Structure 1
Amino acid sequence: MTNGKKSLIDEKSSSMSDRYMFSRLPQLSQIRGFEAAARLGSFKAAGEELNISPTAISHQISNLEDKLGVLLFERKTRSVSLTQEGHRLAQAAHQALKQLTTAVEEMSDTQSVLRVSTTASFAAMWLIPSLSRFQNKHPEIKTEIITSEEVIDINRDRRVDLAIRYGCHDENNKNKTVLINESFSAYATEDYLDRLKDLKDAVFIETKWKNKNLPSVALSHYLQKINKDISAPRICSFDQEHHVIQAALAGQGIAFVSSVLADMALQKGWLKPLDESFSLPGLTYSLLVSPFSEGLRKVAVFKEWIAEELSKYPSKHIENRMRST
Structure 2
Amino acid sequence: MRKPDVIMRHSHAKIPLRSLQVFEAAARCGSFTAAGTELGITQSGVSRQVADLEAVLGVALFTRNGARLTVTSAGQRLADQLADAFARTWAAVAEATRSDQVVILSMLPSVATRWFAPRLGRFMAAHPEIDLRITASRHLVDFAAEGIDAAIRYSPAPSPDLAATKLADETVRPVCTPDYARKLGLSAPDDLGRAVLLHGDIPENWDAWFAAAGCAQDPQPGPRLGDDGAILQAVLDHQGVALGRSLLVADDIASGRLVTPFETSLAASHAYWFVRPDSSPPTKATSAVQAWLLHAFGKDG
CA distance in 2, matches of 1:142, 1:170: 26
CA distance in 2, matches of 1:290, 1:47: 24
Amino acid at match of 2:224: S
Cα deviations across residues 250-307 of structure 1 (Å, max 9, x unaligned)? 1111111211111111111100012135333241111112458733111011000000
Match of 1:159 among 108, 130, 147: 147
Match of 2:111 in 1: 122
Superposition map of 1:226-241 within 5 A: 226-241=213-228
Whether 1:149 aligns to 2:138 is yes
> Bigger shift: 176-185 or 115-124?
176-185
Q: Post-superposition shift, 1:43?
A: 6.9
Match of 2:88 in 1: 49
Match of 1:134 in 2: 123
Match of 2:276 in 1: 289
Whether 1:179 aligns to 2:218 is no
Distance 1:232 1:284, change over 3 A: closer
Distance 1:164 1:230, change over 3 A: same
Distance 1:172 1:298, change over 3 A: closer
Q: Post-superposition shift, 1:181?
A: 1.7
Distance 1:302 1:233, change over 3 A: same
Superposition map of 1:232-271 within 5 A: 232-271=219-258
Residue aligned with 2:197, SS: strand
Kindly indicate whether the alpha-carbon contact (under 8 Å) linking 1:185 and 1:258 is maintained by their aligned counterparts in 2.
yes
Q: Which runs of 4+ in 1 moved over 4 A?
A: 170-174
User: Which residues of structure 1 form unaligned runs of 5+?
Assistant: 1-41, 58-97, 106-111, 210-215, 315-325
Kindly indicate whether the alpha-carbon contact (under 8 Å) linking 2:210 and 2:219 is maintained by their aligned counterparts in 1.
no
Cα deviations across residues 43-73 of structure 1 (Å, max 9, x unaligned)? 7544203339xxxx9xxxxxxxxxxxxxxxx
Superposition map of 1:43-82 within 5 A: 44-51=83-90
CA distance in 1, matches of 2:180, 2:83: 53
Distance 1:204 1:282, change over 3 A: farther
CA distance in 2, matches of 1:171, 1:149: 16
Distance 1:301 1:144, change over 3 A: same
Q: Post-superposition shift, 1:217?
A: 1.5
Match of 1:189 in 2: 177
CA distance in 2, matches of 1:181, 1:220: 21
Distance 1:267 1:46, change over 3 A: farther
CA distance in 2, matches of 1:190, 1:169: 35
Whether 1:202 aligns to 2:191 is no
Q: Post-superposition shift, 1:234?
A: 3.8
Match of 1:218 in 2: 205
Cα deviations across residues 93-127 of structure 1 (Å, max 9, x unaligned)? xxxxx9x889x63xxxxxx3221111111111111
Residue aligned with 1:237, SS: coil
Residue aligned with 1:310, SS: helix
CA distance in 2, matches of 1:222, 1:252: 20
Q: TM-score, normalised by structure 1?
A: 0.59
CA distance in 2, matches of 1:257, 1:171: 26
Structure having the larger proportion of residues in helix:
2
CA distance in 1, matches of 2:117, 2:172: 21
Cα deviations across residues 169-215 of structure 1 (Å, max 9, x unaligned)? 25956621111122111100111111114321111112136xxxxxx
Match of 2:6 in 1: none
Amino acid at match of 2:151: A
Kindly indicate whether the alpha-carbon contact (under 8 Å) linking 1:183 and 1:283 is maintained by their aligned counterparts in 2.
no
User: Which residues of structure 2 form unaligned runs of 5+?
Assistant: 1-80, 186-190
Kindly indicate whether the alpha-carbon contact (under 8 Å) linking 2:164 and 2:273 is maintained by their aligned counterparts in 1.
yes
- Count, aligned residues: 215
Kindly indicate whether the alpha-carbon contact (under 8 Å) linking 2:173 and 2:264 is maintained by their aligned counterparts in 1.
no
Whether 1:302 aligns to 2:295 is no
Distance 1:208 1:173, change over 3 A: same
Amino acid at match of 1:207: G
CA distance in 2, matches of 1:219, 1:228: 11
Amino acid at match of 1:276: E
